[in-house]
Amino acid sequence: MTETTTSDRPTPITGRFAHFRIKSRIGRHPVLGAALILALAIACYTLGRHSAGHEVDEYKTRNAQLESEIGQLRGANTKKETQIADLRAQVDAAQKKVAALAPPLENTFNINSNTSLILADGRLTVGLVGTPRNDGVSLNINNNQHVAAAGDVIDVSPDSSTNCRIEVVSFDILESLATVSATCVAAKH
């Protein structure tokens, strides 16, 4: 009969140390361990390169789409700029026609917002109070407040020997100015 001692028999590895069994085999075969690590590295590199290649292709495709859209928008922008230039030319032509139909009146003055002018040889002080509104302007004539719309005429007597007429020719809300015409004549007794 032969007896075997415990050192001759392999002992089964069980329990919490079972996972070290692979490590011990790799440790016994260093070439196998290096080959496994190299294979794992090559697999990770290939997977990463493949994934990055797809992302780069998607970015190139999206970039080409955006360049196409930019080209279309530039074309539309150029077309709109041409239309704007044509409309400006039409507006300028219309303004010239209007100016030819209604030449500027004599004694016509532009008054800016919150400023005043001395008119009619110093007999009238006319000022635009605030900015023009949609319905009219507020004028200060010789320290008297008057509200008028375009086309309204305000009669003023600065003294007993003079009668003056102030007509609101027009006003511009955006430019904050009013155009008025002022004439004075000697009063009839």
pLDDT digits (tens, 9 = 90+) for 85-100: 999 999 889 888 877 7
* Same domain assignment for residues 120 and 71: no
Which residues constitute the domain of residue 78?
15-103
The secondary element (H helix, E strand) that includes residue 44 is: helix 30-101
pLDDT of 77 over the 90 cut: yes
Q: How far is CA 21 from CA 26, 78, 126, 145, in A?
A: 9, 75, 107, 106
What pLDDT score was predicted for residue 108? 87
Please give the tally of structural domains in the chain.
2
Residue 9 in any domain: the answer is no
* Same domain assignment for residues 94 and 119: no
* Same domain assignment for residues 92 and 146: no
Q: What is the value of pTM for the model shown? A: 0.46
The CA-CA-CA angle for residues 165, 169, 174, to 5°, reads 135
pLDDT of 1 over the 60 cut: no
* Nearest CA among 185, 183, 186 for reference residue 119: 183
What pLDDT score was predicted for residue 122? 83
Window from 61-65, 133-137, 156-160 with minimum mean pLDDT: 156-160
* Same domain assignment for residues 19 and 65: yes
Residue 74 in any domain: the answer is yes
Q: Domain end: 77, 103, 129, which one?
A: 103
Contact 107, 147 (CB under 8 A): no
Q: Domain end: 103, 118, 139, which one?
A: 103
Higher pLDDT, 130 or 10: 130
Task: Share the mean pLDDT of the chain.
Answer: 83
pLDDT digits (tens, 9 = 90+) for 120-151: 888 889 999 999 998 999 999 999 999 999 99
What pLDDT score was predicted for residue 6? 55
Q: Domain end: 103, 135, 153, which one?
A: 103
* Same domain assignment for residues 21 and 92: yes
